[in-house]
Amino acid sequence: MNEIFDSKTTFGDLGLSSDLCKGIRDCGFEHPTHIQAQLIPEAVKGHDILGQSKTGTGKTAAFALPILERVQPDQPIAGLCLVPTRELAIQVTREFNELGAHTGLKMLAVYGGQKITVQAKKLEAKPNIIIGTPGRVMDMNNRGLLPYKGIKIAVLDEVDRMLDIGFREDIRKILGSMKQKHQTVFVSATISPEIQKLARQYMKSPLDLTATDAKQLTVAQVEQMFVAVEPWDKRRLARYVIKHEKPEVAIIFCRTKATVDRVAQDLKRNGIDVHTLHADMQQGQRNRVMQKMRDGKADVVVASDLAARGIDVDNITLVINYDIPEDPEIYVHRIGRTARRGRKGKAIAFVTPEQGELLDKVEQLTNVEVPETQFPDFKPGPEPEKVRKAREQSDAAITQQRETKSRSKVVAPDKESGSDTSKFPGGIVPVAAPKKRMGGRLRTRRS
């Protein structure tokens, strides 16, 4: 069976009008993906749905088509789709426009960083479907420009992100204000039991759809691997990997904006054409980088987790986890920027000797063992003087502590969420924990 597409079904079978089928054909879609084949007919009937399927499997069209089917041109602000980033608001709006090109429906992206007066004017033209980020949507609602009372369908894309601590309150305010009867459709590639519970507070007996039979969270078409590296060698390794792998487009994910800038500067100094993407940049700049990526004019993008979710750019063939994330679900989303629609891609994680535990957490969540890879031509550098001194000092302190205490108090590493096999009940359940390697410690070639 095809992992992504349901080749036995056509879009015509899913209860969609001929106007929509025309838009679907224009987009070049032949068969629905599994999540589309499952979700669309139920959503068209009006059910609330919580849908989970892997990255790059067409969740956008899965929620967009039922909205386009159910909302009529004479119904202003009848569909609302909330997304976590401005980039995603723009991208999702584009897909709505393409799929709905023959429906006569008007869509509008509502997001921060764009002139409020411009968006206010566009809202006066009574769009039918709003795609927006929560902050700006609330702002427009407060100004009386974006009423919730006509909304028939509300969607949360990346639902686990929308209901995590950063957005939870905003979502409560928006969805909590919709007193009329309305339908909800929430989707993501990762939905933990806690998020399911939260999500259900906004839903009426939702259908749980998990469109995959594989017991893994990441798509098989991503070739995953890790490289053991000392922290001081990481920048040089990033340079090496880019030159060695020759990706069409690569995204390098870093934990902080400062690291994004530092890594980008280093690559630039070494003659690599590189762009950055993080939340401290002006929106105009962010949009230009996204457009360059889509046009195939940006080869290497160094990014924060702003770009971790949802971004759908065709030719990303390599994802580098420069900093392996603390939250293993972020890893799933980051590497999901490659190998979309069943294509191939590579994901390389840089792992320092202290970060073995983080890699274990990723493997336990995804139920995929990430093998080690080595680049024999890459020569690790010497330990910097500063690092050596700090290490020697801390070693001396530990020795002293040991001598003064009669009993050693070394505590076993905290395993917490990693061993929680109930993480995805009813969904993608890890069947076996990958084998531990070196008690959560990795060796680099120096040690």
Interface ranges with ligand ADP (CB under 6 A): 29, 32-33, 36, 55-61, 312, 340-341
Give the residue carrying structure tokens 């990346």. 158
How many Cα atoms are found within 13 Å in the side-chain-facing hemisphere of 262? Answer: 12
183 binds, among ligand ADP, Mg ion, none (CB under 5 to 8 A by kind): none
State the CB neighbour count (10 A cutoff) for residue 125.
9
83 vs 263, beta carbon nearer Mg ion: 83
**Which part of the chain contacts Mg ion (CB under 5 A), choosing from 33-41, 68-76, 280-288, 309-317?**
309-317
Query: Taking the mean position of all CA atoms in its chain, how far away is CA 173?
Result: 24
Distances (CA, A) of 257 to 55, 66, 253, 278: 24, 38, 10, 6
59 vs 86, beta carbon nearer Mg ion: 59
CB of 43 to ligand ADP, least distance (A): 15
56 vs 132, beta carbon nearer ligand ADP: 56
58 binds, among Mg ion, ligand ADP, none (CB under 5 to 8 A by kind): ligand ADP
Residue nearest to Mg ion (CB): 310
State the CB neighbour count (10 A cutoff) for residue 268.
15
Closest CA to 284 of 90, 443, 149, 428: 90
**Which part of the chain contacts Mg ion (CB under 5 A), choosing from 287-295, 305-313, 368-376, 422-430?**
305-313
State the CB neighbour count (10 A cutoff) for residue 411.
5
Total interface residues for Mg ion by CB under 5 A: 2
55 binds, among ligand ADP, Mg ion, none (CB under 5 to 8 A by kind): ligand ADP
CB of 312 to ligand ADP, least distance (A): 4
Q: Is 310 in the site for Mg ion (CB under 5 A)?
A: yes
Give the residue carrying structure tokens 């679900």. 329
| List of residues 6+ apart from 7 with CB closer than 8 A | 31
- What single DSSP character describes residue 383? P
Q: Are strands 345-351 and 153-157 parallel, antiparallel or unpaired?
A: unpaired
CB of 167 to ligand ADP, least distance (A): 18
| List of residues 6+ apart from 387 with CB closer than 8 A | 231, 232
224 binds, among Mg ion, ligand ADP, none (CB under 5 to 8 A by kind): none
CB of 23 to ligand ADP, least distance (A): 12
- Structure tokens given for 390: 């700090």
CB of 57 to ligand ADP, least distance (A): 4
Q: Are strands 300-303 and 207-210 parallel, antiparallel or unpaired?
A: unpaired
230 vs 312, beta carbon nearer ligand ADP: 312
Task: Map the footprint of Mg ion across residues 34-73, applying CB under 5 A.
Answer: 59
CB of 100 to Mg ion, least distance (A): 17
CB of 38 to Mg ion, least distance (A): 16
| List of residues 6+ apart from 275 with CB closer than 8 A | 264, 289, 292, 293, 298, 300, 301, 302
Residues that bind Mg ion (CB under 5 A): 59, 310
